[in-house]
Amino acid sequence: VASAFMNNVGALALMLPVALVSAAEQQRSPAILLMPLAFGSILGGMTTMIGTPPNVIIASYRQSVSGAPFGMFDFSPVGLAVAIGGLIFVAVIGWRLIPRARRTANVPSQLFETDDYLTETRVPEDSGLIGKTVQEVEAFRDGNVEIVGRARGASGAIFLPQNHVIEAGDVIILRADTDALKKLIEEHDIDLVTESGGTAKLLTSETNTLVEALVPHKSWLVGREVAALSRRVGERGAVIALSRRGAPLRERLRRQRFQVGDILLLQMRQDLMADTLLDLELLPLAHRDINLASSHRIGLAGLIFGGALAAGIAGLVSLPVAFIGAIIAFTLTGILSVRELYDNVDWPVIVLLG
């Protein structure tokens, strides 16, 4: 239904979290849901004039030739019949064509495994790590902690041998998974080193929480250092650690430049989490219970879109004019930023229509 009134990709993105959560609750492979979901978004787009870019192109071409474009639901008689037939096929037969190995692989508990995080900690005077060797620390939590080195200067790090003894005041660069990192900090009372060089405690409470977020390709953070994020969020949050697939991270955390696909461990204020992630253009991992859009924005966006659609169908204005008006309203009300507006324009279709 959603793909009948929006781009197929947008409808698919809207339903992906629902499919993944459903698969996680049922402990089934997401492949059983994702493939039918993809075909469903394609089939739904066949039912209306704005459902897919080809429909829009055909309608525009008809207007240039005959002077009258297709109406909103002129595609429905044929498109709806094809969509219903396709959905019946997918529900009864299609999903059975998915290879059996794919139906059992990649269970939800394995979907969001990440490489270990890189973080920096300072050993205070009363820490339980004082007097321990690097080898003893790395044996913590069954070897899930690795000491990359000791911080030196503003950006460097020096390698520590296995027999090196940890001393008070050392700034140690660690690589560990989420659970091991939390336990090490809590049990041995060590401090996190912030971007500015100060320290902070790892706090999770009603006001502060930890969240893992992905850096997408459109994020303004790509190519910027950790300091840029710290300046933008201020007291709303802080970067605790960074995980990246591929080459191991060896430089200090503050000198890392964000790349597409990086996963950040962030400490944030609970009440500002959603707005902060939106501001940073970060995506929370799907297994986190975070809603990036307020109910007020969702309701207002639905009202504006519904009004534009109704005005176009009723013939008060043409559909292109109605939707342009809706986009302007989205921008004026803060639902859509100017950057998001440009990033989400389907430029190949615009060029083809031109």
For residues 337 and 351, give the distance between their C-alpha atoms in angstroms, rounded to a whole number. 23
Say whether pLDDT at 81 is over 80.
yes
Read off the DSSP letter of residue 97.
G
Say whether pLDDT at 261 is over 70.
yes
Say whether pLDDT at 10 is over 80.
no
| The 3-state secondary structure of 225-285, one letter per residue | EHHHHHHHHHHHEEEEEEECCCCCCCCCHHHCECCCCCEEEEEEEHHHHHHHHHHHCCEEC
| pLDDT at residue 252 in the model | 63
pTM over cut 0.85: no
- The answer to which of 54-58, 76-80, 115-119, 131-135 has the lowest mean pLDDT is 115-119
pLDDT band at 278 (very low <50, low <70, confident <90, very high): confident
List of long-range contacts for 24-28, beta carbons under 8 Å, 24+ apart:
24/108, 24/109, 24/287, 27/107, 27/108, 28/103, 28/107, 28/108
- Residue 218 · residue 156 · CB < 8 Å: no
List, in sequence order, every residue forming a beta bridge with 150; answer none if it has no partner.
158, 172
- Residue 32 · residue 90 · CB < 8 Å: no
| pLDDT at residue 215 in the model | 87
List, in sequence order, every residue forming a beta bridge with 158; answer none if it has no partner.
150
pLDDT band at 109 (very low <50, low <70, confident <90, very high): very low
Q: What is the mean pLDDT of residues 219-223?
A: 85
pLDDT band at 101 (very low <50, low <70, confident <90, very high): low
| pLDDT at residue 153 in the model | 56
The token pair that represents 255 in the structure block: 């000198």
CB atoms within 10 A of CB 254: 19
| pLDDT at residue 199 in the model | 42
- The answer to which of 24-38, 234-248, 263-277 has the lowest mean pLDDT is 234-248
